[in-house]
Structure 1
Amino acid sequence: MSEPDLARAGLLVAGATVVVSLVSYAYGIVLAHWLPGAEYAVFASGQTLLLLAGTAASAAVPWALAKAVRAHPAGTVERRRAMAHALAVGVLGSVPAALVVAAVTAVYAPFDAVAAVAAAVAAIVLSGCAVGWLQGEQRFSRLAALRVAEVVTRVGVGAAAVGLGFGAAGALGAFVVGSVVLLAGGLAARSAGLRAWSDLSWQRGVVRDRERWAETAGLSAVQALLGVVTATDIVLAPVIAGVGPDAAVYQLAAALGRVPLFVAAALAVVAFPRLPSRGVARDMASTYGWLAFPATAVLVTAPPQVLSWLVPAHLSNATTLLPFTALAGLGLGLVTLAATVLQAQEAYRRAVGVLGTALGLMAAGTVLGWYTWGIAVGVCLGALLAAGVLIRTAHLSVPLTSLVTAVVAGTVLWQVSRWTPGWIAATILLGLFSLRMARSPKPAAPGPRLRVLHLGFEDPALPGSGGGAVRTHEMNRRLARDHDITVLTTRWPGCVDRVQDGVRYEHVGIGSGRTHLGRIAGYALALPFVSRRYAADLVVEDFFAPVSSIGAPLWTGRPTLGVVQWLNAREKSRQYRLPFFLVERVGVRTHRKLVTVSDGIAKRLRGMNAAAEVSVVANGVDAAAFDVRAPRGEDVVFVGRLEIAQKGLDLLISAFAAHADRMPGDLVLAGTGPDERRLRALAVEHGVERRVRFLGWVSGVAKYRLYAAARVVAVPSRFETFGMVALEAAACGSPVVAFDIDCLREVVPATAGVLVPAFDTAGYGRALVDLATDPVRVERLGWSGRHLARAYSWDRLAVDQDRVYRAAVRDWQEG
């Protein structure tokens, strides 16, 4: 199976696991409404034991088979023996497992419930064989479908049994029916069951295979003990508090708070076959962070009135316990991930030892909590301490200090949310803070080839894309000779993920990106989560309108460098009357490493963030621009995005119209943009619609020929961060007329063009006429401009950019 196929299969199984967990979760909530308190306490404890028995059964057998499949091809004796061994584990292990779980259930439950649990455990363990066959044969679609079918059948039969008056015993007995569906469906695959039974009957060595039994025993022991750890509080609650309302209240709160544990279980299923490969444990912990921490934030901060529709009236006190049970679920999820890493390392004894410590902490927290602050608080403390122990032992990349900080922040926000209606804001804040807590670990020392993840909001293939996209690609295609570069860019209709000039472009976001606002908003919302899927030694954030930075260093958890080609949120704030500049200010201050394209922008950045190290690496010009030759024409040419607020095209049309009768040629506007219709209307309003031509989008050699043929290239921008159009025009041998503003002042010296006092429309018109009617001066400025532009070589500038990249990674490691 290829890597892409394996990834898709993993996502399929993970999706099925999530569906099973959510349906089981919802089923428990519904039964909390249907069953009396005492009955629900029996069901909740029994369901927890059965789910944990299923976890152990579905891990021990399939995980061992997955390893055998990777080592031995289909049809070999070794693989057949591994499958036969799995069947032996199911047959021989179902009876003792059923007896042990039944003995635990008998402490608090009546006989009919005990019998239902025992039968269900045996069926669940046997169904683990079917899961093993399907994983061993890599029939993941069938496995996913059967898992969903199993839970749907179980819920349907259980609901019917409760409706007919069989109570908790009927709901628990439904597990038997669901397991039969899974077992029959799995063994029906290519008569796997008959073939395996045949193998078992004639291969005497299967049952005596000590190596396989040792591996299976290790996995089973760890999974069983993990199950006991994560179920201790739910099982002990009715034992300590008695089978009644108090236990039921806690068990419902605990069930609601187990969402992070379900997330961890799904991640463990997918990640285990790839463990202990380098980076997989880190990615698993990171994914858990951005999935489980925000979910915990919602549970912690949600007020009782929001949860009232989930909780029946007779168990309404569960809402007051939910913040503590949610944090306990977060800790138990971390315990699960750490135990998975230890199993992948085959460190079974170490795993059993630390899980034994965790079990002691959970039991002690449950008992101590009952006699002091309440079971929920005691279990919360026990779970978090257990998480700390397991994280440290497995070297899982989740900082314990970050976890503690998140817990403190969650508790504070929960207290605040009790007396203010701003609980939604508190949830968002905790969710964002959690992204910071779930940071990826520091990468290994940078090697000669870096993995660079470039957050480049604009695809150069998007019609109407600007100079920022050009710079991103021109730099990256040169750096891709020495580094692996992936650019995450916005979605737009017709976009296609691709590899271009050695650079991988992948489109991310929410929605299809039909509008500019939707494209940018969807990209910004999705980026903190999607970016975590990609391994990277360095993350590069391109600043973009209208907010500049979205604070990437806060959530990447990796060395992060800001590339500043745009820093004009204040102008956008005036345009849209929204405080974009405040977001820009905060975003700039999150960065410690910045690279920009001009000294003017560098000065502004240092003023906004004195602690940042700011480097200047200018934009370059394509070598092809110097080779283009075209007969000199008479037109004034503008190339760029047709946007009034930044590009100043309203000023240009006004200036041209005032002197149109003296201009030898027309005004040519090449590009696309949001204000094209308004610009056409302006040309009509000024009476020059016959003298203003709209060419549409031009690029490549066609663009350079347009520059070279121009009498004058107009750059009427109100603000810029560099002025790439001016530099490209100079490289093509055409003079530029621009306003005297920061950045343009650096690339339009008097030897290459004319600078007009900022926004002096009359002066701009005069400068156009004077230059357009003086062909000798045009040629002189054009020749000088070519000489100036040769200093801006993309190849040389890419070397400078590479130096900044390596320094950012090195400083991160040393810091």
Structure 2
Amino acid sequence: MPATQTTAGGSRTNADSPPQLRTSRAAAALTCATLLAGAGNYGLSLLMVHLLAPAEYVRYATASNVLLAVGTFAGATMPALVTRELADRPHGPVQRARGVRLCLRTAGVYALICAAGACAACATYAGPALTAAVAAAAVLLWTNATGAGLLQSRQDFGRLAVLWPAEAAVRAVASLAFLFVGRSSAGAVAGIAAGAAATAGAAFLSDRRPLPCRTPSAPHRPPPGPAGGGPATGRRAPWRRAASIGGAQALMCLLPSLDVVVATAVRSGSPELAPYQALLVLARVPLYAATALAAVLLPQLATTPVTTQPAASASTPTAHERIDRTPVHRALRLHWAAALTITVAVVTCPRPLLALVVPPSYAGSAALLLPLGIAGVAAATLTVTATVFLAWGPLRQQIRLLAAACPAGALLYAATAGQPVRLAWSAALLTTVTAAASLVLAGRRIASPLWRTAAAWCATAAAVACVLYALRGHTALWCLAVLALAATAPAAVRDRQPTRTQGPLRVLHLAFEDPRSPGAGGGSVRTHEVNRRLASYGVEVTAVCAPWPGPGCTPTVHDGVRYLPLPGRLGPLNRSGTLCRLAYFCAVLAGLWRLIRRMDPDLVVEDFAAPFSSVCVPWLTRRPVVGVVQWLAAAEKTEQYGLPFHLVERLGLRSHSRLVAVSEGLAAELRRRRPGAQVTALPNGIDRAAFTAPAGAAREHVLYLGRLETSSKGLDLLLRAYASAAPRTTCDLLIAGDGPDAETARSLARKLGVEGRTRWLGRVEGAVRYALLAGARLVCVPSRYETFGLVAAEALATRTPVLAFDIPNVRDLVTDAVGVRVPPEDVRAYGDALADLAADPARCRRLGRAGPATVAHLDWDAVARAQLALYERAVGRERNEDAGRAQ
């Protein structure tokens, strides 16, 4: 354990900070080890169902549950006692040896008491052989727990992660060997003793290497008192502490197994309880995971700094103590994400899948899974919250709570033992009430209302369970839904990292469109123009974009901005642009947590994109999120495809609290749809090169520049309007750009008879783009819908008038002084206006000369600085020096 030091002000600090629980390899390793061990134990129990007669299986299952309570009690008590005892001693070999001997003596006393209690619990139905096996297993489980405590005190979680599955493996092999010799429940229980003996020996052998001695300048922490708080002195202090910790853990471990113990005793081991006991093992998987989580959490809490300063008010945890509650919140989030995901899947499991893991006769009792699952989550929550009291105390509150719950549970279970369904619901009710009370007490201990967070998690789990329950009749759909749930659950426990006060701001931009991709529009231009300026200010920007068919779709760095296609590989699906775009949204939903873990950004920016607008990114991460809205027309996509895209857009808007709109009109619409959100209007900018582009001498053509697309850009309307105006003008129509409807547009031009008057220029960029705009007599913007109208603004900057439909956001740019507007989608009026303007070059020059002054305020540098300031406010960081100099 890291050495603790005392500062001049009386506070404790750690020489080495404890590992972060959310990304700790120890937590991940122990969780996987627990799942493997739990799977092995459950598989062994299922195997015993088939190998043992029903009466023998009931004896084995009951003895296993008793030993599970003993092992849970030992595993919760001894590691805590060993960790606290060795942490409170100077780390010299002599002092450590004394602490280990004291812990072994304590374990021996507890082992004898538990062995006697376990034998008494099994006395009504167990013979001499089974009683002897239970007693031996109880003693060895305590020895094994002491060895695990020695490794835990070192925070040697790697060896623990190996020993736990190894114990399950040795137990399974030994149980099967003894079973085939004796064909009785006693042999199966003897395997539990063999597994505990093997891993205990391995733990003690691996703990023989020397520890570094504590430096004289690092005095150790005063030992806590009997109730877990305050100093304790005298030779009896360690025994009092052991009694206090052991009493609390005994009651806590007894409570989850009390239903089986009482019901079996009342019904004298009736075979009718076999389905209840078999399904109980499945419902207790969260308890195994919580045990691993508590093993990692306890050493972290024991080394968490507690500053002894006067409290600000009486509502603080204690009169002179300030506790860092962050590890507790991390642990509970991780616990609820794992426990509720597992429980929801177990409770809603379809009957065909359930029949694969339990006998068909037991699968008929699936109604027990819901109450047993609730009881399992509540018991696991008790295990996690108990760690708070073990580390920081006082334990007396937890002891009183459990001392009241256990007798009440015994009476309740005795009354309902005759009906398994009522027994299961009684267990769910009692355990849930006790866990809720423990959460309230723990919340008071750390001055944080934990029960509110728990209520939110449970409400979410209930909603998900309803969806999965509705899919029970469709096993394949249920499996896909569970896989999606498992893929998105880790996002719920991602921490918001503390803002870095030093170093560059890191931005993960979910940009959807790469400016290099075919058909990329004004949205990608804005994203790149802003991001490349942010990169020049020292911001680290990673833009995640949808892949596209064809060459060039590779990760790259352009103008200091890192572009990353997501997903990177689609195989044969990469041939379809539509599938690439859909795959992008799926990859964001399922893999955003992995991206955040790998890149560790300070801020996530989500560009709204067709057809969903937003995929609720703020609900997928705990990092600050800013939504950039350049597109808000999911309703049109709903009409086009008949799919409820508008409902997804509504949820996406509800998830965001910080939004950037590219026009005042769009900002007003966002404020109407999302009251309470912080909406900032930041229009697009224009490259200064557009204002200095040389005008063409002739200006003899009409130009369309943009994405070749009909549903929003209205290219089909332009072709029809030009076809009606062509006999009245000598100007040809130039079409520049690429997009998904290029072939459709060419076919329409041939059909309308204007193919010879239309020239297709392909994609143009940079200086060529501005020269093309400046050389046109008229720029046509026939859009059905626009969020800003970047092409119109660039045309005005090059002194070229614009012809457009009178639609929102465009009418703010194309006024009567710089262009002409006609009623929306009125093809005849558009054709007449095109013919009139093309035939009047003097009017076009007059309108064009007024254009630059109306868009002079649209400056990319100003937009980038304003957006950077918004980003910094979102992460709570002051403007950095580079940005200040740029400003």
Q: Provide closer, same or farther for how the CA distance between residues 424 and 780 of structure 1 changes in structure 2, counting only shifts above 3 A.
A: same
Shift of 1:314: 4.4
Matched, 1:245 2:311: no
Matched, 1:173 2:190: yes
Residue pairs, 1:234-633, within 5 angstroms: 234-275=260-301, 277-302=324-349, 304=351, 307-316=354-363, 318-360=365-407, 362-370=409-417, 374-395=422-443, 397-399=450-452, 402=455, 406=459, 456=510, 458=512, 463=517, 466-468=521-523, 492=547, 514=574, 515-523=579-587, 525-526=589-590, 543-550=608-615, 564-585=629-650, 588=653, 596-601=661-666, 615=679, 617-621=681-685, 629=693, 632=696
Tell me the amino acid that sits aligned with residue 667 of structure 1: L
Question: 1:428-485, CA deviations, whole angstroms, 9 ceiling, x for partnerless residues?
Answer: 79x99xx99x999999999999x99988462657746654466567778999999999
**2:808 counterpart SS class:** coil
**2:414 counterpart SS class:** helix
Q: Provide closer, same or farther for how the CA distance between residues 605 and 400 of structure 1 changes in structure 2, counting only shifts above 3 A.
A: closer
Question: Which residue of 1 is the match for residue 783 of structure 2?
Answer: 717
Shift of 1:257: 1.9
Question: Which residue of 1 is the match for residue 208 of structure 2?
Answer: 193
Question: Which residue of 1 is the match for residue 115 of structure 2?
Answer: 102
Tell me the amino acid that sits aligned with residue 683 of structure 2: N
Contact 2:782 2:805 in 1 (8 A): yes
Question: 1:287-341, CA deviations, whole angstroms, 9 ceiling, x for partnerless residues?
Answer: 4444433443344444656533333244345312111111111222222222233
Tell me the amino acid that sits aligned with residue 642 of structure 2: R
Contact 1:509 1:526 in 2 (8 A): no
Question: 1:710-764, CA deviations, whole angstroms, 9 ceiling, x for partnerless residues?
Answer: 7765544332333344345545665544333222222333444443443345665
Question: Which residue of 1 is the match for residue 814 of structure 2?
Answer: 748
Question: Which residue of 2 is the match for residue 695 of structure 1?
Answer: 763
Shift of 1:102: 2.5
Tell me the amino acid that sits aligned with residue 425 of structure 2: V
Question: 1:9-36, CA deviations, whole angstroms, 9 ceiling, x for partnerless residues?
Answer: 4333333333333333343334334433
Between 317-326 and 750-759, the greater mean CA deviation after superposition: 750-759
Shift of 1:149: 3.7
Shift of 1:546: 2.0
CA–CA separation in structure 2 for the residues paired with 1:198 and 1:497? 51
Tell me the amino acid that sits aligned with residue 105 of structure 1: A
Between 136-145 and 14-23, the greater mean CA deviation after superposition: 136-145
Tell me the amino acid that sits aligned with residue 208 of structure 2: G
**1:693 counterpart SS class:** strand
Contact 1:130 1:186 in 2 (8 A): yes
Q: Provide closer, same or farther for how the CA distance between residues 193 and 535 of structure 1 changes in structure 2, counting only shifts above 3 A.
A: same
Matched, 1:78 2:91: yes
Contact 2:506 2:601 in 1 (8 A): yes
Q: Provide closer, same or farther for how the CA distance between residues 682 and 63 of structure 1 changes in structure 2, counting only shifts above 3 A.
A: farther
Question: Which residue of 2 is the match for residue 29 of structure 1?
Answer: 46
Matched, 1:667 2:734: yes
Among candidates 786, 791, 795, match of residue 857 of structure 2: 791
Question: Which residue of 1 is the match for residue 60 of structure 2?
Answer: 43
CA–CA separation in structure 2 for the residues paired with 1:298 and 1:649? 50
Question: 1:111-144, CA deviations, whole angstroms, 9 ceiling, x for partnerless residues?
Answer: 4334334444444444446655656666655543
Q: Provide closer, same or farther for how the CA distance between residues 256 and 453 of structure 1 changes in structure 2, counting only shifts above 3 A.
A: farther
CA–CA separation in structure 2 for the residues paired with 1:655 and 1:289? 61
Contact 1:328 1:383 in 2 (8 A): yes
CA–CA separation in structure 2 for the residues paired with 1:485 and 1:390? 44
Q: How many residues align?
A: 790
Q: Cα RMSD (Å) of the superposition?
A: 5.9
**1:522 counterpart SS class:** helix
Q: Provide closer, same or farther for how the CA distance between residues 578 and 406 of structure 1 changes in structure 2, counting only shifts above 3 A.
A: closer
Tell me the amino acid that sits aligned with residue 681 of structure 2: V
Q: Provide closer, same or farther for how the CA distance between residues 760 and 663 of structure 1 changes in structure 2, counting only shifts above 3 A.
A: farther
CA–CA separation in structure 2 for the residues paired with 1:507 and 1:348? 50
Q: With structure 2 as the length reference, what TM-score do the two structures score?
A: 0.70
Q: Provide closer, same or farther for how the CA distance between residues 162 and 642 of structure 1 changes in structure 2, counting only shifts above 3 A.
A: farther
Q: Provide closer, same or farther for how the CA distance between residues 687 and 731 of structure 1 changes in structure 2, counting only shifts above 3 A.
A: closer
Tell me the amino acid that sits aligned with residue 39 of structure 1: E
Between 797-806 and 127-136, the greater mean CA deviation after superposition: 797-806
CA–CA separation in structure 2 for the residues paired with 1:459 and 1:360? 63
Identity %: 31
Question: Which residue of 1 is the match for residue 3 of structure 2?
Answer: none
Question: 1:611-642, CA deviations, whole angstroms, 9 ceiling, x for partnerless residues?
Answer: 66684514331665567646659686666555
Question: 1:531-590, CA deviations, whole angstroms, 9 ceiling, x for partnerless residues?
Answer: 998999998765433233456787879998865432222221233232323444565567
Q: Provide closer, same or farther for how the CA distance between residues 559 and 164 of structure 1 changes in structure 2, counting only shifts above 3 A.
A: same
Matched, 1:10 2:78: no
Contact 2:536 2:560 in 1 (8 A): no
Tell me the amino acid that sits aligned with residue 813 of structure 2: V
Q: Provide closer, same or farther for how the CA distance between residues 365 and 590 of structure 1 changes in structure 2, counting only shifts above 3 A.
A: farther
Contact 2:734 2:758 in 1 (8 A): no
Between 111-120 and 390-399, the greater mean CA deviation after superposition: 111-120
Q: Provide closer, same or farther for how the CA distance between residues 146 and 371 of structure 1 changes in structure 2, counting only shifts above 3 A.
A: closer
Unaligned runs of 5+ in 1: 200-204, 811-815
Among candidates 169, 174, 188, match of residue 152 of structure 1: 169
Q: Provide closer, same or farther for how the CA distance between residues 742 and 229 of structure 1 changes in structure 2, counting only shifts above 3 A.
A: same
Q: Provide closer, same or farther for how the CA distance between residues 804 and 87 of structure 1 changes in structure 2, counting only shifts above 3 A.
A: same
Q: Provide closer, same or farther for how the CA distance between residues 407 and 322 of structure 1 changes in structure 2, counting only shifts above 3 A.
A: farther
CA–CA separation in structure 2 for the residues paired with 1:666 and 1:804? 42
Shift of 1:692: 1.1
Question: 1:245-265, CA deviations, whole angstroms, 9 ceiling, x for partnerless residues?
Answer: 233232223222223334433
Unaligned runs of 5+ in 2: 1-15, 215-219, 224-233, 305-323, 444-448, 877-887
Contact 2:42 2:282 in 1 (8 A): yes
Q: Which has the larger radius of gyration?
A: 2
Question: Which residue of 1 is the match for residue 7 of structure 2?
Answer: none
CA–CA separation in structure 1 for the residues paired with 2:788 and 2:88? 57
**1:691 counterpart SS class:** strand
CA–CA separation in structure 2 for the residues paired with 1:67 and 1:492? 54
Tell me the amino acid that sits aligned with residue 276 of structure 2: Y
Q: Provide closer, same or farther for how the CA distance between residues 780 and 95 of structure 1 changes in structure 2, counting only shifts above 3 A.
A: farther
Tell me the amino acid that sits aligned with residue 791 of structure 1: H
Q: Provide closer, same or farther for how the CA distance between residues 408 and 71 of structure 1 changes in structure 2, counting only shifts above 3 A.
A: closer
CA–CA separation in structure 1 for the residues paired with 2:735 and 2:546? 30
Q: Provide closer, same or farther for how the CA distance between residues 81 and 628 of structure 1 changes in structure 2, counting only shifts above 3 A.
A: farther
